[in-house]
Amino acid sequence: MTLDELLAQAKEHSLDANKQPTMTILKEWGQGRTVFGGLSASILYAAIKVKIDDDRVMRSFNCNFVGPLLVDTTFEIVVEILRQGKNATQALGRIVQDGKTCVTCQVCFGVARTSKIVVKNNDTHTMEIPKKGMFLPQIPKITPKFMRFYDLSIVEGRMPFMGSKKSEISGWMRFKKPPVEITDAHLISLIDAWPPTILQMLRLPAPSSTMSWNIEFIHPHQDFSPADWFAFKAITRQAADGYAHTEGNVWDQSGQLIAISRQTVGIFD
């Protein structure tokens, strides 16, 4: 199934008040035996967003990957509106499989307000838009299956497990098959397509797992072309004791910063 079909299914189930929303994700979206984290996060966000019935837009997105979400196995989506105030709405979503919470997301939606405080962001990059993707090819039992849906083009940094001394990575990303439109849910899945920055430092394959993930959207609800490239640049703020803390910027094709992404990653080397 395409990302558009999965997001539509999540929205439809979330709107049905007569039954608990349930879904199953096939192994084509797998990352080993589990569902690609960017997909589970985007599906949960879509189920939450459909409950927001006004023009409030996402300002922050906080996601915790609590446990493995297995492919080819039914799971439930639980959405709760924690509070809806005059200016902001706080909502919580959970994915539950076999009675266990696998993913949680707390999202803050806020209305735009007139304010005298304006501070422009000046973060930029100098990467040229690529003509085609340049990353890992589809290698059976090595490349995660979900990667077939995304185009990545690396500019700085190295591929995973190449023993690099650096821990930064930058490049471009887009959907291999353009969706009907680019929504916030699409961007959530796309941003997570990049491997953690520190995997390039390992000399041999080893598992890693994103434990918590925060995205702050700087310019929400832009009109993007479905075929657009998005620039990405991530650094490792600190890594020790089997955990890494990373931070990345996301720009649209015109060079405008649209999101800041931060992750806590567990490394099992």
pLDDT digits (tens, 9 = 90+) for 106-152: 999 999 888 999 898 889 999 999 989 888 767 766 678 999 999 99
Lowest mean pLDDT among 41-45, 100-104, 107-111, 204-208: 204-208
Res 117: pLDDT: 93
pTM exceeds cut of 0.85: yes
Q: What is the DSSP string of 113-178?
A: ---S----------PPPPSS-BS----TTTS-GGGGGEEEEEEES--TTS--S---EEEEEEESS-
Q: What CATH topology corresponds to 1-113?
A: Thiol Ester Dehydrase; Chain A (3.10.129)
pLDDT tens for 140-176 read 666 789 999 999 999 999 988 899 999 999 999 999 9
Give the model's confidence band at 261: pLDDT under 50 very low, under 70 low, under 90 confident, else very high.
Answer: very high
Domain chopping of the chain, boundaries = 1-113, 119-269
Task: Please say whether the structural domain 119-269 has been given the CATH code 3.40.50.10320.
Answer: no
Predicted confidence (pLDDT) at residue 221 exceeds the cutoff of 90: no
Tell me the pLDDT tens digit for each residue of 53-80: 778 889 999 999 999 999 999 999 999 9
| Position 219 pLDDT exceeds 70 | yes
CB 212 within 8 A of CB 64: yes
Per-residue pLDDT at 141: 67
What is the pLDDT confidence band of residue 20, given thresholds at 50, 70 and 90? low
pLDDT at 35 over 90: yes
